[in-house]
Structure 1
């Protein structure tokens, strides 16, 4: 049974959601049983079940660097709290139209911040939503940097600093936004989200 399905057969989500989505690649990922000794360690655990990671494993060097960057950006114990790193990833994904990434990182944002309703408002209303002073400043900074081409963010940077966000925390925001500006475009060009269980094999 192939994992690559016709574009028209996928049951696309009808909007941005915190529900878990599947992801359907348009290029055949490697089968876990066919992974070589370089690819196999990169697919340990649940990653081996993911068509996305098995597709990226076709270029093991790129996946190695991508995984290291992800760990450094989102799991560092210093600097910005992880909830706001995830918020920046959610905003970037919402702005770029990546429903899959937005679903994953909005769930993390909700779990870590315990602000499910605010996160859902961001998904429903988009990046013009107004929530509170600090989250609004993060949202506007993320949108400025995620734009193509990126917009000058002098005013947004000043707002963050006025709210007590220090340079290390701003650096963490920049990394999160940059990482997902890249990740969104990669996912959007390699496949599409799918509602779990909505399509037959």
Structure 2
């Protein structure tokens, strides 16, 4: 079945921000009244049915279910490993590198909330991943995330060494890799399906 491409009248944001943005797809999401129990199972959290992004992805509920459980485990399972702030930092660095303004806004905001380091997070958005970061752990997580995002083959033993020298153990290093790798994929999916909307009230 061919899908009609949706053209939006708004002007999409073109600068990285920690403000709360919306997102609208270029293809029609599944209508709420067409969701079945199988769809809700794929959403994992029924509240996600309010998101046009997830109602678009739920057209394949089995894939969405696997995607969402993976996402939740990477970012919400805090039984050891990397603190949540740095997991969000890895996602923000990947999103900033890929140019996904929406994802960068979400994960930079979470990184700020968890770390209370607004200026350091904002510097990542304003200056890019190469901007000044004085914390060795943040520098290592950003560098690893960028190398993994740009070309996975660029991520090598030197990144592991930098992360380890910054004080991260094996589980924390795995968390940093998972956060960046997941959003390297998720950014590209979101960028191909729609665009961010301006902050509310702008």
Give the unaligned 5+ runs of structure 1. none
Q: Which whole-Å CA distance do the structure 2 matches of 1:149 and 1:171 have between them?
A: 15
Q: Which whole-Å CA distance do the structure 1 matches of 2:44 and 2:84 have between them?
A: 24
Q: TM-score, normalised by structure 1?
A: 0.91
Helix, strand or coil: the match of 2:154? Answer: coil
**Stretches of 4+ aligned residues off by more than 3 angstroms:** 43-46, 196-199
Counterpart position of 2:38: 38
Cα shift readout 1:58-88 (whole Å, capped 9, x = no counterpart): 0000110011101110111221111100000
Quick check: 1:174 aligned with 2:177?
Answer: yes
User: Which has the higher mean CA deviation after the structures are superposed, 146-155 or 13-22?
Assistant: 146-155
Counterpart position of 2:146: 143
RMSD in angstroms over aligned alpha carbons?
1.7
CA contact (8 A) 2:91 2:180 kept: yes
CA contact (8 A) 1:43 1:54 kept: no
Q: TM-score, normalised by structure 2?
A: 0.91
Distance 1:175 1:44, change over 3 A: closer
Give the unaligned 5+ runs of structure 2. none
Helix, strand or coil: the match of 1:16? Answer: coil
Counterpart position of 1:189: 192
CA contact (8 A) 1:56 1:63 kept: yes
Structure-to-structure mapping, 1:19-168, within 5 angstroms: 19-41=19-41, 42=43, 44-77=45-78, 78-132=80-134, 133-168=136-171
CA contact (8 A) 1:140 1:156 kept: yes
Q: Which whole-Å CA distance do the structure 1 matches of 2:155 and 2:100 have between them?
A: 23
Q: Which whole-Å CA distance do the structure 1 matches of 2:27 and 2:201 have between them?
A: 21
Cα shift readout 1:21-74 (whole Å, capped 9, x = no counterpart): 111101100111110120134275431211001101100001100111011101
The alignment covers a number of residue pairs equal to 195
Distance 1:167 1:96, change over 3 A: same
Quick check: 1:6 aligned with 2:7?
Answer: yes
Q: Which whole-Å CA distance do the structure 2 matches of 1:160 and 1:66 have between them?
A: 27
